[in-house]
């Protein structure tokens, strides 16, 4: 296993409070501008992965000693944690004095950079799935956060795919379990055996779709193409048909229905920020997890599997190695992270400190990050977990040696 070599922060940019202009519905707003709108200065950092990707990190500094890292879901970015403004989790944590860090995975709107690959030209840039998100991206992000802050561990909150990468990292690089004080898993995705249609139907046809995309050399999904974005926004922001077509007929059948928490007025903001790009391979890897009924590495077929793994079938992720504390929060009305599949996950994780089906019966997959009243039905449970393990983490930091950080640059 190669040693992580890049912990270098190459750029820090400060967006001062109050400098953002008025945000209009049809504007593609950046995370720093959103943070500024809600009264905070955002710091920007670059983290480098072992395999050459350059990932953008955002930070809203706070006085608490233990940093907290938020990792977004599929087709998403750090913006997902802040688009609800003062009710968003990023701002709520900042208001509580947390040192908030937000990661962006390779390929999304903030992380389309590589040391030598061009995402618009080189197909190899898109040769990744959630395995690389966990094994490379999350490792680099965690190490960079700890390097900058001088902490020896952090708290973490992941949503959907943002939880999957922690299970990958903890199982393949067990040393990282010691760097995570507690992981709050919102709508965890690890097993996808009980998803209903239409997602189940799409998964069943995924081998055909993947082979077709491969033959056409389509590597990127939801490419950051202004024409496509403008067309999508024009359709979804149409006051007569936008909500019906883009939410009721597209989002809710996959995530679970909850129109009370995703109201009409938020749609323009939502589609300014979602979806963002990922790889076709990533989507297909999740589909494989579902129809193969195993949380395992990417299946290339017997011949290439032998070259890649030494076995004709891809190896399973050894979840018994995921020793970090994990709190599992699931929605009863979630069509992606189902109650049944999270129960399977719980059986394999050795250190589950809480397993909760959110009492709100209509809780769906996106209510965890976009819900109108998250502060009422979700945040109290998150803060209970963070506070339960807060004293242990602070004690660990105060008693650890700081010698390793003596040459840390002053930022």
Distance separating alpha carbons of residues 48 and 114, to the nearest angstrom: 9
Given the residues 36, 88, 160, 206, the one annotated as active site: 160
DSSP 367: H
With DSSP H G I counted as helix, E B as strand and the rest as coil, what are the percentages for the chain, rounded to 5? 45, 15, 40
Distance separating alpha carbons of residues 29 and 268, to the nearest angstrom: 12
Contact 173, 323 (CB under 8 A): no
What are the residues facing 328 on neighbouring strands? 185, 355
Distance separating alpha carbons of residues 4 and 103, to the nearest angstrom: 18
* CA distance between the termini of the chain: 31
Given the residues 334, 341, 367, 393, the one annotated as active site: 334
- Structure token pair of residue 181: 């004080």
Any residues with CB less than 8 A from the CB of 11 and at least 6 apart, and which?
44, 45, 46
Distance separating alpha carbons of residues 38 and 60, to the nearest angstrom: 11
Given the residues 72, 114, 285, 365, the one annotated as active site: 365
Distance separating alpha carbons of residues 135 and 378, to the nearest angstrom: 29
Asked about 160 being catalytic, the answer comes back as yes
Q: Is 211 helix (H, G, I), strand (E, B) or coil?
A: helix
Any residues with CB less than 8 A from the CB of 335 and at least 6 apart, and which?
195, 196, 199, 253, 254, 255, 256, 364, 365
User: Residue 310: left (phi > 0), alpha (psi -120 to 50), or beta?
Assistant: left
Helix (H) / strand (E) containing 270: helix 267-273
Distance separating alpha carbons of residues 81 and 102, to the nearest angstrom: 8
Give the C-alpha distances (Å, rounded to integers) separating 15 from 12, 43, 87, 231.
10, 7, 21, 30
- Residue identified by tokens 């909150």 is 157
Distance separating alpha carbons of residues 264 and 331, to the nearest angstrom: 22
Which class for 236: exposed (0-12), middle (13-18), buried (19 or more C-beta within 10 A)? buried
What positions carry a catalytic annotation? 160, 334, 365
């Amino acid at each position: 296993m190669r040693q992580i070599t890049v912990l270098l922060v190459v750029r820090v940019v400060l967006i001062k409070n109050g400098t953002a202009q008025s945000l209009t519905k049809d504007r593609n707003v950046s995370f720093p501008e959103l943070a500024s709108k809600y009264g905070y200065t955002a710091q920007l950092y670059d983290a480098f992965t072992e395999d050459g990707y350059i990932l953008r990190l955002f930070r809203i500094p706070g006085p608490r000693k233990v940093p907290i890292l938020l990792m977004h879901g599929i087709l998403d970015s750090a913006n997902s944690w802040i688009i609800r403004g003062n009710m968003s989790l990023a701002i709520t944590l900042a208001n509580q004095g947390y040192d908030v860090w937000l990661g962006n995975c390779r390929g999304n709107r903030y992380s389309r950079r590589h040391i030598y690959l061009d995402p618009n030209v080189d197909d190899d840039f898109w040769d990744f799935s959630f395995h690389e998100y966990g094994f490379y991206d999350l490792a680099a992000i965690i190490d960079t956060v700890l390097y900058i802050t001088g902490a020896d561990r952090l708290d973490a909150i992941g949503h959907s795919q943002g939880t999957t990468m922690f299970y990958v990292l903890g199982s393949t690089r067990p040393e990282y379990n010691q760097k995570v004080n507690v992981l709050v898993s919102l709508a965890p995705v690890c097993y996808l055996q009980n998803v209903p249609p239409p997602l189940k139907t799409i998964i069943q046809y995924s081998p055909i779709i993947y082979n077709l995309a491969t033959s056409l050399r389509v590597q990127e999904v939801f490419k950051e193409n202004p024409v496509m974005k403008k067309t999508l926004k024009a359709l979804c922001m149409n006051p007569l048909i936008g909500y019906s077509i883009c939410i009721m007929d597209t989002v809710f059948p996959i995530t679970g229905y909850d129109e009370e928490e995703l109201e009409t007025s938020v749609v323009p903001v939502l589609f300014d920020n979602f979806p963002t790009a990922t790889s076709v391979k990533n989507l297909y890897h999740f589909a494989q997890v579902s129809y193969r009924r195993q949380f395992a590495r990417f299946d290339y077929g017997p011949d290439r599997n032998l070259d890649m793994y030494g076995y004709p079938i891809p190896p399973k992720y050894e979840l018994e190695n995921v020793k970090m504390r994990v709190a599992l929060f699931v929605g009863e009305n979630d069509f992606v992270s189902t109650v049944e599949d999270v129960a399977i996950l719980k059986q394999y994780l050795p250190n589950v400190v809480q397993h909760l089906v959110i009492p709100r019966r209509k809780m769906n997959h996106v209510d965890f990050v976009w819900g109108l009243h998250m502060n009422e039905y979700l945040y109290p449970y998150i803060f209970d977990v963070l506070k339960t393990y807060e004293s242990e983490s602070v004690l660990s930091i105060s008693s650890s040696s700081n010698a390793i950080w003596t040459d840390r640059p002053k930022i």
